[in-house]
Structure 1
Amino acid sequence: MSSIEEDGKTKGYIFIEYESEKEASQAVKIANGYKLDKHHIFIVNPFSSFDSMLNLEEDWNPPEKEPYVDKGNLRSWLLDADCNDQYSVIHGGGEKVDIYLNTPNEPVLVKERDRWTETYVSWSAQGTYFATFHKQGIALWGGEEFNRIGKFSHQGVQMIDFSPCERYIVTFSPLPDSPNDPQSIIIWDVRTGTKKRAFQCGDCSRWPVFKWSHKGDYFARIREEAISIYETPSFGLLKKKSIKVPSISEFAWSPGDNIISYWLPEIKDTPARVTIMGIPGREELRVKNLFSVATCKMYWQNKGDYLCVVVDRYTKSKKALHYNMEIFHLREKQIPVDTLELKEAVNAFAWEPHGDKFAVIHGETPKISVSFYRCQKGGRTTLLKTFEKKQVNNIFWSPRGQFCVLAGLRGMNGALEFYDLNEVTLMNVGEHFTATDVEWDPSGRYVSTSVSWWAQKVDNGYNIWSFQGKLLQRHPVNQFCQMLWRPRPQTLLSEEQVSKIKLEIKKYHKMFDNKDRMSQKKASKELIEKRRRMMREFLDYRGRKKQEFDEQAEQRQDLRKGYEDIQEEVDDFEEESVEFFIREEQAIIE
């Protein structure tokens, strides 16, 4: 270690001797490059580096430039003329992975591979990368042919998490590590494949352990009664110290701003508290004290306009609970808070994306109700409508807002209800018996429901519905495991441009209707041609096999010599017709 004077010379070096080579290597790894402040940085080298310094060549040779490797267009799927989305399917008990292009009539296979992953797969936040899991680590794939883009060696990796900007990936392995050499959680640079920083596991009962800010500028975790916030790309602790928050229970980032919210339970005579804090300044934007609190859950609207805190409170006798929702209006002056009282426990809560509505499932079987609310200016929240006696336990909003699916999953009968929240009406009902998962495609045009082999061993497969609740496709798949839609990046259009398109949508109706009719005719023509081609192929195959059968007649007779009682071959064949269901269409005749 040395200190450099103004003339460029050093004051000297400090030589430190360790008991073992391992300890010396660890000291270099931890201390080298450590920033004391903006102008002072530790530089630590092993003693063996002096030999390399003394043996330097007099003639300097510049390093060889690595050739550029074109990885292709990583967003090629966005160029589809009809804006069809892709999705991945794991089946065969996890042995096979397929990627399909979703079309109105039937999916088109884009890529298939056997043993592509050893556990499951994951798409990156904006759909650019496709991640597969292996014993040695994670592999990323992309481009038109899904070539391998990068690999990240992390033995025993089980979970991953992408930053919202897709620049970084977090991997987790449960293998034991040490404080001096943490290896449980590693953060990587996706583009270069370099390891940026590693952390000890700590409490991994909830994943992800680190939560990212909306643009990936910060990531944070709860550690030792404090919130530790790190900044990128330095990956150092923000302001070199954590935010001390004794007894903190949970925190969450705003999806639209560099703001965090967290809540603290009651401690003796100190009430529970919900705090909204700005980052990096750490200024408290709003504080709300709560009394007789059993637990809280925080839900941010996807643009960060609203925050709902669902609070379970004790009654005075502390033998029962009552419930309320605290709605924070972030975009209004001084952040007003509206309190809604509920008589029943909240089973599920979800905000409308890009909107000001939210849905709540409350009550217990058989008296489960669903209520829709709307936030208004002035910090007010109004009830739109309540639907009673529902067999649902999950809420799924369309990524574009307005439409909502309520579903009874995992333990319920797989009931599906499709709502239009512009009119607050039930559009349609359906059922996917014993369904385990529901997922919207990123465009908000389709909804998939599925029964995973990982959850139960019968009736595996997935269905695709329209946003209005019309069943479009049935796909029973042997040992079907997982179906994931490929995400899309945010639109490049401004809010004003999107609003203008919505106002002028009637101009496009005729064009889209004509295109739909043409696509249906094309699809019907393609289906008929496909069936004719399959029939021709079958007849050709049957003719070849019949010819082989006739040519082998003498050989069969020679093999059967001595068996007089064997009946001669019969040339006639029996034909059997099989009918199967393709799809059902309903039309209203006016």
Structure 2
Amino acid sequence: MAAQVPLLAVRGSDGTSLLCGPPKCEQHSPFHRDSRISRCFTFSRDGTLFTWCNGQSVSVVKCSDGSMVATFDLPKATLLEFSPLNNILVTWQPYTKSQDSPQGEPNLQLWDLQSSQQIKALYQKKVESWCPSWSEDEKICVRSVNNELHFFENNNFNTLANKLHMQKVSDFALSPGSQPSKVAAYVPGSKGAPSFVRLYQYPVLGGVSAALANKSFFKADRVTMQWNKKASAVLVTASTEVDKTGASYYGEQTLHYLAVNGETALVQLPKTGPIYDVAWSPNSAEFCVVYGFMPAKATIFNLKCDPVFDFGTGPRNAAYYSPQGHILVLAGFGNLRGQMEVWDVKKYKQVSKPQAPDATHFSWCPDGEHVVTATCSPRLRVGNGYKIWHYTGSVLHKWDVAAGSELWEVRWQSFPEGSFPERAIMYQAAPSGLGTTQAPTTQAYRPPALRHLPATPSTKLHEDEPPQNMRPGVSGERIMSKTALKNQKKREAKKAAKQEAKSEPEPHSDLVTVSNSQSELSSNDPDTDKKIKNLKKKLKAIEGLKDQQASGKVLEKNQLEKIQKEDQLLKELQALQIGQ
């Protein structure tokens, strides 16, 4: 039996085509390239079917041999989706009104793929949450209608089987996996009341008492809800459009955790700033968060919301787990320079550090060995094209669009879970005729007038934080923790001070020191002595707060403000001591 090779669908101004994935990276011969401009395309969940709209009709074909399954006269369709078992094709087109139809025509349509007959036509004005959500066995389907969640059973859309009514419910997320199905429902806050998310298990719906878990919070204009694969917990990223403190252009975000056993928590993030991305590991036991003002931090948390591993700081705003969950890619796309960090998440060891400048798209191949990056229009209208990589940083295939053409979308063929087993991770770059694009080491800029002089230590705007393992009781780690590094520096400084004291008497220093062994100098002014004593007390408290911060403890806002005043207090103390 030949090894399975995922297909890559490519859509642009030159039409729609299917490409065989690596190692061949050539056109999929059973599929005849459609040169007409395509509005949209998608694969079925198991990858056996492919559908696209070319501005004249919607076609559905088998991926294996390219044979036609169904055709629908829907020239304006802009969104397409299959039901999990490929029984239904869902199509959506923009909602419009006309003189002949002042109420508008139904723009959300459900089609039976076996008979090519329409099952149901519905109104769906907004593109958000446009597609109904099915359980994997298609026994339950749910969609949001006028502040209610409507449930249908066994694809019977003429009879409403159940509904969840909560005032102003605006979003939901149906759990993946087998029965029993669970649903997370979000209700935004109003008039001083907090927003909240509740988890329910179908068919027991409605009320706080029926909820599996309930989490309320303020500062939420919208939320993003993500279930893990085992449907045991959901992560809720709450966002506001505007940060009233003025600290962030991106608004304000908080991350909340809800489990079906009733446990809830606010995920404490050690660095302030936006939450760029949240990703569940396929093992459902941990998740990665990319957050904080640049350079951003990335941290893996367990189901107790305790940090497990911190990747330090870097230019990143996205996290992507491989389908098997053994590799994690941290990347900085958009307004960043496209640096990718590939990590072995079992050993917490970096595999490679390739760079894909101007990339607007990244996705893992189902085999867990390859990825694709692409520069697509309209995000960027120049330099359009895509690259297929091995995770070790080797470029295996590259395609650039011709002048005057555009690339709009690329997408991997889907496969059922378990189709590709996990393979041992390689640390040596895979062979490739196109080579690798490892991120080059950069040096600080030096003006021409100073380049002939010896280099001096540069002052960084941001202090880079190294990766650290945060599991308690871990010894002999390859990466030294921040606390261990600080303690090591203290020991080395003490040792150097002792050796210096033995060699020669210590001269008098005018520098201000704050320690218990410092000799207390008394002035003739009792008020001055009192001020000096108070200043030393405050500085000692700041030292304690800095030690707590270094050990990983999240400080309160007032504690951080105290640390920021350290330089000011030292200057005041120095001025008082000089005046004695």
Asked whether the two chains share a fold, i.e. TM above 0.5, the reply is yes
Distance 1:196 1:385, change over 3 A: same
Query: If you compute each CA radius of gyration, which structure gives the higher value, 1 or 2?
Result: 1
Q: 1:341 corresponds to which letter in structure 2?
A: Q
Aligned to 1:329, which of 226, 251, 259?
A: 259
Other-structure match for 1:406: 330
Other-structure match for 2:226: 299
1:476-495 → structure 2 map (5 Å cutoff): 476-478=400-402, 479=405, 480-491=407-418
CA contact 2:40–2:78 (8 Å) conserved in 1? no
1:141-290 → structure 2 map (5 Å cutoff): 141-142=61-62, 144-176=64-96, 182-202=105-125, 204-239=126-161, 242-256=163-177, 257=179, 258-268=181-191, 270-282=193-205, 284-290=210-216
5+ long unaligned stretches in structure 1: 1-78, 513-518, 521-580
Distance, in Å, in 2 between the alignment partners of 1:218 and 1:191 is: 20
Aligned to 2:58, which of 116, 126, 138?
A: 138
Report how far residue 483 of structure 1 moved. Answer: 2.1
Distance, in Å, in 1 between the alignment partners of 2:75 and 2:435 is: 49
Q: Deviations over 1:521-545 (max 9, x none)?
A: xxxxxxxxxxxxxxxxxxxxxxxxx
CA RMSD between the two structures:
3.4
The answer to whether 1:122 aligns with 2:60 is no
The answer to whether 1:362 aligns with 2:291 is yes
The answer to whether 1:583 aligns with 2:434 is yes
Other-structure match for 1:426: 350
Report SS of the residue matched to 1:341: coil
Report how far residue 277 of structure 1 moved. Answer: 0.9
Distance 1:181 1:229, change over 3 A: farther
Other-structure match for 2:16: 97
The answer to whether 1:374 aligns with 2:302 is yes
Distance 1:314 1:190, change over 3 A: closer
CA contact 2:394–2:436 (8 Å) conserved in 1? no
Other-structure match for 2:392: 468
Distance 1:402 1:143, change over 3 A: closer
Q: 2:141 corresponds to which letter in structure 1?
A: F
Report how far residue 416 of structure 1 moved. Answer: 1.5
The answer to whether 1:87 aligns with 2:32 is no
5+ long unaligned stretches in structure 2: 438-580
Distance, in Å, in 2 between the alignment partners of 1:387 and 1:490 is: 28
Report how far residue 145 of structure 1 moved. Answer: 3.4
Report how far residue 482 of structure 1 moved. Answer: 2.6
Aligned to 2:274, which of 345, 361, 381?
A: 345
Q: 1:416 corresponds to which letter in structure 2?
A: M
Distance 1:429 1:227, change over 3 A: same
Q: 1:243 corresponds to which letter in structure 2?
A: L
Distance, in Å, in 2 between the alignment partners of 1:136 and 1:458 is: 28
Q: 1:213 corresponds to which letter in structure 2?
A: S
Distance, in Å, in 2 between the alignment partners of 1:300 and 1:423 is: 26
Distance 1:220 1:112, change over 3 A: same
Report how far residue 583 of structure 1 moved. Answer: 3.1
Report SS of the residue matched to 2:85: coil
Aligned to 2:320, which of 396, 409, 416?
A: 396
Q: 1:247 corresponds to which letter in structure 2?
A: K
Report how far residue 106 of structure 1 moved. Answer: 4.4
CA contact 1:101–1:108 (8 Å) conserved in 2? yes
Q: 1:436 corresponds to which letter in structure 2?
A: T
Q: 2:66 corresponds to which letter in structure 1?
A: F
CA contact 1:139–1:151 (8 Å) conserved in 2? yes
CA contact 1:442–1:488 (8 Å) conserved in 2? yes
CA contact 2:201–2:212 (8 Å) conserved in 1? no
Distance, in Å, in 2 between the alignment partners of 1:314 and 1:582 is: 47
Distance 1:290 1:207, change over 3 A: closer
Q: How many residues end up aligned between the 2 structures?
A: 416
**Percent identity at matched positions?**
20
Report how far residue 268 of structure 1 moved. Answer: 3.8
Distance 1:403 1:225, change over 3 A: same
Report how far residue 136 of structure 1 moved. Answer: 4.2
Distance, in Å, in 2 between the alignment partners of 1:291 and 1:414 is: 34
CA contact 2:87–2:113 (8 Å) conserved in 1? yes
Report how far residue 477 of structure 1 moved. Answer: 3.4
- Higher mean C-alpha displacement, 431-440 vs 449-458: 449-458
Distance 1:235 1:423, change over 3 A: same
Report SS of the residue matched to 1:456: coil
Report how far residue 102 of structure 1 moved. Answer: 1.9
Q: Deviations over 1:403-455 (max 9, x none)?
A: 12222223322221212211223221111110111111112111111112443
Report how far residue 585 of structure 1 moved. Answer: 7.9
CA contact 2:95–2:105 (8 Å) conserved in 1? no
Distance, in Å, in 1 between the alignment partners of 2:349 and 2:95 is: 51
Other-structure match for 2:235: 308
Distance 1:186 1:492, change over 3 A: same
